[in-house]
Amino acid sequence: MRLGVIDVGSNTVHLLVVDAHPGAQPLPATSHKRLLRLSEHVTADGLIDDEGIRDLTQFVGECVQIAEDLGISELMSFVTSAIREAPNGQAVLDHVRDVTGQSLRVLTGEEEARVTFLATRRWFGWSSGRLFGIDIGGGSLELATGIDETPDTAISLPLGAGRLTRTLDGDPPSSEDLRTMRAQVRTQIASSARTLTRWGTPDRYVGTSKTIRSLARMCGAAPSSDGPFVHRSLERAALADLVPRLASMTAEERTSLPGVSPERSAQVLAGAVVIEATMDIFGVERLDVCPWALREGLILRRLDALE
């Protein structure tokens, strides 16, 4: 069967279409995405503004048309932190449904962490033992650990790369602003550490998300053109050397680095600060990069329900 999932994130709206059946590996048929940056279409009152609503509605309608043209059996749609935190989030969802006919389901941060954990478990398998998963988006950071396909603990923190970037002034930001942000990030992560570490030492630490893939690429990992089955990792020592370099560069200068697109160059510094802090606090020397994340996890969960 052919399944599709629309993932409405704080940065990107992404349609993934796969061919799959229960018990088989989902094979990508097509991918269609656009950088909408919904987190930047938020008013002082926290509302999604008219431009953000219009852009989201237009692109969801475009995704629905593509999915229909490709003959999908089922199209699932989910939204994450940008809309779930907005006071007018339900009104936005109602508008999108009325115009496009597509209902978007709100995922909690914990659900994001749990579904992404399922994807990493399926990718790396049971032989990996206890997994510890780290995923960062535009609005939030998700952490989870477990020995099964359902994690023992899964949490979400408001430490997304886009969210934190908006707290920094200047390009590059001042060292004072960066220190303040770094301290706040580490305080929030450390305050939640016990809920994860009490389950014991993980056998494998796994990182997902575009930000982590970009950081790994800047630290020497293979390019995406080499395919998903090439082993990629992010070393804490290499990341510690990278962060000061990123902090000294403008957003435009960062685009000269491997793996950094112009659309994400402004956010990669904040993302690097969060991931370095997470690795430091949890004592992670190396993150293995997983090409599967939330979208694949949602598809896997749906396939499981069909068995």
Position 24 scores a pLDDT of: 83
| Region label for 204, one of left (φ > 0), alpha (ψ between -120 and 50) or beta (otherwise) | beta
CA distance linking residue 19 with residue 24, whole number of Å: 9
Q: What b/e sequence results for 68-78 when a residue is b if at least 16 CB atoms lie within 10 Å of its CB, and e otherwise?
A: eebebeebbbb
pTM of the model: 0.95
Closest C-alpha to 81, from 161, 147, 151: 161
CA distance linking residue 274 with residue 152, whole number of Å: 23
What is the percent of the chain where pLDDT is above 90?
A: 91
CA distance linking residue 160 with residue 11, whole number of Å: 10
Closest C-alpha to 274, from 144, 127, 163, 145: 163
The residue ranking higher by pLDDT, 138 or 306, is: 138
pLDDT band of residue 23 (cuts 50, 70, 90) is confident
CA distance linking residue 150 with residue 120, whole number of Å: 11
pLDDT digits (tens, 9 = 90+) for 215-227: 999 999 999 999 9
What is the rounded average pLDDT for all residues in the chain? 95
Contact present, 270 and 243 (Cβ < 8 Å):
no
Whether pLDDT at 25 is above 90: no
Whether pLDDT at 307 is above 90: no
**Rounded average pLDDT over 252-259:** 97
pLDDT band of residue 306 (cuts 50, 70, 90) is confident
pLDDT digits (tens, 9 = 90+) for 126-143: 999 999 999 999 999 999
Whether pLDDT at 82 is above 90: no
Counting runs of H as helices and runs of E as strands, what totals does the chain give? 11, 11
Position 40 scores a pLDDT of: 86
pLDDT digits (tens, 9 = 90+) for 171-198: 999 999 999 999 999 999 999 999 999 9
Position 22 scores a pLDDT of: 84
| Encoded tokens for 262 | 């112009």
| Placement of tokens 């979208």 in the chain | 295
